[in-house]
Each structure stands twice: as C-alpha cells, then as structure tokens.
Structure 1
Amino acid sequence: MNQDILHTAIKASLSAGNAIMEVYNSVIEVEFKDDKSPLTEADKRANDIINSYLKPTNIPIISEENKQIDFEERKSWETCWIVDPVDGTKEFIKRNGEFTVNIAMVNEGLPEFGVIYVPATKTIYFAEVKEKKAFKSTIKSHNASIDDVISNSKLIKPKKQSNTIEVVGSRSHMSQETMDFVEDLKSSGKEVEIVSKGSSLKFCIVAEGNADIYPRFAPTMEWDTAAGHAICNAVGLEVISKETNKPLLYNKKNLLNPWFIVSKR
C-alpha cells in the first residue's frame, strides 16, 4: 500500500473534522432524506472536503452522501474508497461527541486500510490490514500534520480474555436481537457488561481492548463498517457475517450489510 494514499485519507479526515466541528459549535439545522435518516450541513461540507482529497487519487468513491453509482459500473472496480463523512449523525445532533469520519479503501471486496477520526476529541484511529498493526493518535488541532499524527500515535491491541465479557451495544440502535444475544451469554454462566457507544467508535473500543465483542443485529450500510472492519482486522479481530459465516464484503450490489459479529475467532 502506498503510504501517500493512507496519508491522503488521514488528511481528508482531519480537514472534514474541522468543518464538522464548525457546524457542531453553531446552530444545527436538520433535514431528512428519503429514507428518513437525518442530514446536516456537516454531512454535506465534510463530504465535499473528502471528495476533494480523494478524487485526485483516481480511485472511485462510494460515499453515503454521493449519488450512488449503478452496480453495473461498480462491479468492475477492483479497488474503491468507502466513505461516511459523518457516521453517527444522530449522535452529532444530540451533541454527545460520539460521531466519526470513516474513510476506508477496499480491494476485491475486503478492506485494505481504514481511518476513523473522532472530531470532538481530536482522536484518530488508522490501520493497514497487511501490516497487522492499528494505531490511535490524539492530536491538538484538526490542522495537525501527518508527522504530528504519527509521532503521537500508539499501537492498539484487543483485550485479553477475562471472566467478564464486555459487549458493545449501540447508543441509538439497540435491537431486541442484541438483547437476546446478551441474555444467551449470561445463561451460559458468563458475567456480562454492556458498553454503549455511538457510530463506528464501537469497532474502535473492541480493537483497543475496551470491550470483547460487538454484535450488530440491526441495519448498517457498507460506509458504516468498512473503516472499522479494517482497524479490527489489523489487530486480529474478525468481522463475520451472520448470513455467510464469512467476513463482511464490500462494493456489493446491495450496499446494505447483513448482521455481523466483531470478535476474536
């Protein structure tokens, strides 16, 4: 993987984060898309900024806020970007800080690297799957240089097994099926604690050892998961479809994900 490509994604996420926080710190006006999901000025601004960084790479882009390209064209793409300019728009509107910028590159359906930026805390996670390493960096400014990001970064690793299983639950989308999954774990004699988080931060807290498992039995789209999937894969975690019992795939005809579980296999 060309380091310049990864660095481009990092710079795009930081620049988008800066624009997102300008909106966050002003009056947030909310529109609703056809699927009833919320949309703010932050989504639009961040999307424009990320596109401006990624388009010069000449790698095609799938973004939540771009017009979706027909599969007849997409199916010939070996490599593409998958982007969510603001993941966790509901958390953004609630002003709880748990929203992210997600940028991933996938090759032949599987993530090669991922970048997740948390603008409210100026924390960035990034990983290249083949290197089998993922990093977390906390910076002082959205205008930080790549050198600042790298010099402040620390390796992250998943949790070692313990008597308590920490299960990641969604801040806004806790489904009955997820609650049933938790009850099944408890009935097997294990002590279970729920860790609630919004957005793709759910992947990050498993990857950095602050939870054991993330079951997602509710709808997600490819842009919700691709960057987190890369970060988890880089530290040895699997993101397994409940439909196929194989890793989630990307640039599918239908961009909706099946249910999945993030854990060690």
Structure 2
Amino acid sequence: MNLITKFSVTAATFLTLAACSGQDYSNAEKLTDDPETEQTLPKPEMTDQTADVADVEAEDTAMVEVNANASDSAAILQKYDHLDPKRLINTKALAEAVLYFEKNQSRFKNKKYISLIDFGKRSTQARFFIVNMSSGEVMAIHTAHGKGSDSNHDGYAEKFSNKSGSNASSLGYYRAAETYYGKHGLSLKLDGLSSTNSNARARAVVIHGASYVRESSVIQGRSWGCPAVANNLRDKVVGLLKGGSLIYAFAN
C-alpha cells in the first residue's frame, strides 16, 4: 500500500486499529512533573555550535500553506512513498507534513529528517516520530506534554495554547533551530511557524532531556510546554534535528 492509498484510509479504520491494539495502560505508573520553575531562553550568542544556523532567527517565518490540488498532492506523496514502512505514524498527519515540507523546502536547512509529534496519543505511548527522509525508517520515542494541556495528569493532552503562561503544548509546524546549554543541559530551540505556535521561542518551548520522561509505558511527567524526551536520548534527538529540520505537532 503506497502513501497515496494510505492517505485515503478512513478515520474509522484508524479507530478500529487503535481499539484492537490490545494495549492496556489503565494502571500505568505516573511520573512526577518537571520539578524546576518555568525556564527562559538565554540571550543568543554566536558560538561554533550555533554559527551554522544563526540566521534562522533573522528569516521571515511565514511559510507557504499547503494548498495543492489533488494531482499535485498525489505526485508529491508518491515521491515520499518509502517513508514509514511499518506504518507507525498517523497516515493523514504524515501526508500533511510531507506536503508542507515539499512546499517549503527552501526554509528547512536540515532536510535529512522530519519529525511528527502525535499529541492525540497518551503519553504512555511512543508518539514522537523522527523520520529518516532517505531510508524512510522511523525512530519512535516517548515525549512529555505541558501541564496546561493535561489538568488531571492522566496522560492525555486535552487542550493546547500559544499563550505565554498557559504552560500548555502548542500544535502546528516548527523549525528546529540552534542548540544551547540551559538548566536541562543540551537543549534545542524551536521556531513556531504556525499561528497556533508562533510564540514558541518567546515561551522557551524547546526540546530537552528530562528525568520525568522515560522510554517505557508510563504516564510521563508534565513539562511547562516543552516536548521533553528521556535524558538518555537527548543528545541523539538534538543531534538529528538541529539546524533547521521540520517538526509537526498534531492531535487527531
């Protein structure tokens, strides 16, 4: 089944697959939240680590919206038919990300990887998907969502916000920018490219490692809005995505 066909699979089919997955997280362990105060970003400095992407902040962040006709979309999706051979990612979201990536390629300096974060999944599940654009293989890992998105800490993100002080996760397209060292160590700044996440940099929504995220089927601790990952995967994730790769956060 190619990507074009997979894109046409109905929502009912996805619901059936989820219901038949046989995974029961009702008694999942619950990790504690981020024990630190909400972070702020350091003032940008020109270093060897950031020199290759220092111009990211100076770019116009207005992106081309995906508005291709059916035939154009089909041709683009065919080009990326090799992605996600194990069908780990929501097919509709993957197609949306691919179309957006194709239309805005000049804005993404790191074209080796695109990532999708499925906030429609419970935090007990691996829902941060890093896609190798050459091989098509997918690295699926766990990630946190914001306290403001999950008021009762049941692992489900129920609401999203772009407002400072909301402590919530934001949906939309991001560009992974430059790295820095903060209170969580190596971290990766994000530029929000959608109206729903345009304040990401101002809110210090970044990718960082966290003790409250674990690579297992537990209810992950809640962040201040950052898609935090397990500490043992931090360097790998940041290394793959830094320098201008596309990240798409969605919830279906």
Higher relative contact order (CA 8 A, sep 6+): 2
More helix by share: 1
Q: Which TM-score applies when normalising by structure 2?
A: 0.31
More strand by share: 1
Q: Which TM-score applies when normalising by structure 1?
A: 0.30
